[in-house]
Structure 1
Amino acid sequence: MSDELKLVVARTRMLCADVREIVLDDPTGAILPSFPAGSHIAVEWFPGQRNSYSLTGPSVEPERYSISVRLDPAGRGGSRWAHELRVGDTVRISPPRSEFAPVATARHHLLLAGGIGVTPILSHVRAAVLWRRSFEVVYAHRSGAAPHLDEMSALCGDRLTVAESRERFWENVTPALARSPLGTHLYVCGPASMVDAVTAAATAAGWPSGRVHSEPFAAGAVTGGTAFTARLARSGIELAVASDISLLDALREHGAQVPSLCGRGVCGECRLTVRGGPVDHRDSYLTDDERDLGDSIMACVSRAAATHLELDL
């Protein structure tokens, strides 16, 4: 990351059994770059390996950055690395960036969070309070696993509804989708299944797609598809992409310099041009129209939908 920031761990704390908050400071005490609510940073946990985490703290001239990391025992190792950080350790990060920022002109903001998906929603709430925007929040979580609930309660007051079951979540979300005033924007972050269900419900309730914003905290599976061959059109080289490796990793093993930040199909950094072959889209970045064109792929999560894929590389 050529424009990386080098910060130090100032403090950490466990928010619940598997979620750790990590606070990062500039070693010189400088004010850090401001960012739009809903932004994330890419944290380098191993050379060439980065995970993206939402910023949860104040966004205007912040003195520090705060992230919350859920331990994923089945992950690649980034979350475990984060859970082992100690005060004083140096952490390399990208500058903040956002594909999930609030729309400042919205008449009302309906914010829906599921589990660790509360992290960007907390950032939205801070901005809404700061700028005195109209908003309400529904926060769904498992019993005993509600990171940042105290902060959300303090900031939101009676504008927060907490749901510890799917039934309770929909008891509140369904009428909210029906009653929200014209000009309301909907923001949802949580498991992909939750995001898909909320998006479908909003569409059925007549919400325009431009007023529905989502960020799944986990993209579709990187692996598990059929093995395929990726042909690099400029060089004529063909690469075998096994079912247990991502296209991005296969390209990097070959030496291709493909940029990437989030590794979740969210940021769009690893977008590649497709010259031929169908794509199994597993990202949450491309629009439906862009997917229908069939000329782009997010290399970190998406795969070929057949045995061959030709790339403009």
Structure 2
Amino acid sequence: MLDLRVAAIATPCPSVRSVTLVGDGDAPLPSFPPGAHLGIEWRPGRVNPYSLTGPGRAPETYEISVARRPDGAGGSRRVHDLVAGDRVRAVPPRSSFPPVETAAHHVLVAGGIGVTPVLAHARWHAFWGNPFEVLLVQRPGTTPHATDLRDAAGDRLRTATDRDGLHALLDPTLRAAPFNSHVYTCGPPGLIADVAAAARRAHWVDARIHAEPFVHAVEAGEAFTAVLRRSGREVGVGADESLLDALHRAGVEAPHLCRQGVCGECVTGLLAGRVDHRDTVLSDAGRSGRIALCVSRAAAGETLELEL
């Protein structure tokens, strides 16, 4: 864990708080690639990851922007309550949404608070001179870092205010992109699905389509039972709770970080049972015999047997 101190607070738009953090000591801050998260501990044992927006090369500060979620568990409220001088513990940066170094061109798509990792990508590509362009879906005055993104991308940034406007930009952009281009999307699930569908219509293979969703609530499903191979215990999972939360409720230790299926920290071996996979970190091949405990569930009528 890193010991950090709040150096500055800003409010770039309603309901979003930007926090600048510095090391609470003499040790240098770990560097990070664009798309990395910083895991903020908001109560003992509970960590929420937030995308780092600043440069990752020998950073002197860490910068995050967090949308307040009144219906969340409390992590965003904790960040919004911070003031300059407060001390914070954090998991060091981890990357789950990095740029592909061998890509010929990078198409970055952001919606809402999904602008945060896309801003880091744009700053990275601008610094290294990589070919890239940015499509931003925003309602004026409600998207943080719109000016920062314009500063980083210049005339490579194009904006839309709704889904139809995005499609008018997206379809020709993907069709005209050079071979071995990659597209990266961050935002709500609907935006990610739209971009992926447009890329496939343009005959892009899935290996060149990358996404990081911002999902803030567990999707409901059928109740099911998880059998733990090592202890022989059975844990019931309610329709409105995640497998991870059910395990913790039963006193079972299970690794976790993002709780959104994007980091891979909670991926666990699966010995039996069919899974309704809802993560975005495992490939189709990687899902064989594994499950992301925080978002994935048993398929209808199935019992899961886990390596726990």
TM-score, normalization by structure 2: 0.96
Is the CA contact (8 Å cut-off) linking 1:53 and 1:69 kept in structure 2?
A: yes
Matched, 1:272 2:268: yes
Matched, 1:152 2:125: no
- Aligned counterpart, 1:167: 164
- Aligned counterpart, 1:139: 136
Opposite residue 245 of structure 2, the aligned amino acid is: D
Q: CA deviation at 1:302?
A: 1.3
- Aligned counterpart, 1:242: 238
Opposite residue 265 of structure 1, the aligned amino acid is: G
Is the CA contact (8 Å cut-off) linking 1:30 and 1:63 kept in structure 2?
A: no
Matched, 1:88 2:108: no
Matched, 1:262 2:258: yes
**Higher mean C-alpha deviation, range 97-106 or range 129-138:** 97-106
Select which of 283, 292, 295 maps to 1:301: 295
Matched, 1:67 2:64: yes
Aligned pairs for 1:1-313 (under 5 A) are: 4-28=1-25, 30-218=27-215, 221-291=217-287, 293=288, 295-305=289-299, 306-313=301-308
Is the CA contact (8 Å cut-off) linking 1:43 and 1:94 kept in structure 2?
A: yes
Q: CA deviation at 1:223?
A: 4.5
User: What percent of counterpart residues are identical?
Assistant: 49
Opposite residue 128 of structure 1, the aligned amino acid is: H
Paired residues in the alignment total: 307
Q: CA deviation at 1:260?
A: 0.8
Q: 1:184 to 1:61 in 2, by over 3 A?
A: same
* Structure 2: unaligned runs, 5 residues or longer: none
Opposite residue 240 of structure 1, the aligned amino acid is: G
**Higher mean C-alpha deviation, range 23-32 or range 183-192:** 23-32
- 1:282-306 Cα shifts (integer Å, max 9, x gaps): 2111222334x3x211111111123
Opposite residue 310 of structure 1, the aligned amino acid is: E
- 1:190-232 Cα shifts (integer Å, max 9, x gaps): 111211221121112111222221111227x524211111111
Q: CA deviation at 1:183?
A: 2.3
After the TM superposition, which segments of 4 or more aligned residues of structure 1 sit over 3 Å from their partners? Answer: none
Q: CA deviation at 1:142?
A: 2.4
- 1:81-134 Cα shifts (integer Å, max 9, x gaps): 110111111111111111211122222111111111110000001111110111
Is the CA contact (8 Å cut-off) linking 2:274 and 2:302 kept in structure 1?
A: no
Q: Output the aligned Cα RMSD.
A: 1.4
CA distance in structure 1 between the partners assigned to 2:2 and 2:239 by the alignment:
35
* Structure 1: unaligned runs, 5 residues or longer: none
Q: CA deviation at 1:28?
A: 2.5
CA distance in structure 2 between the partners assigned to 1:206 and 1:287 by the alignment:
19
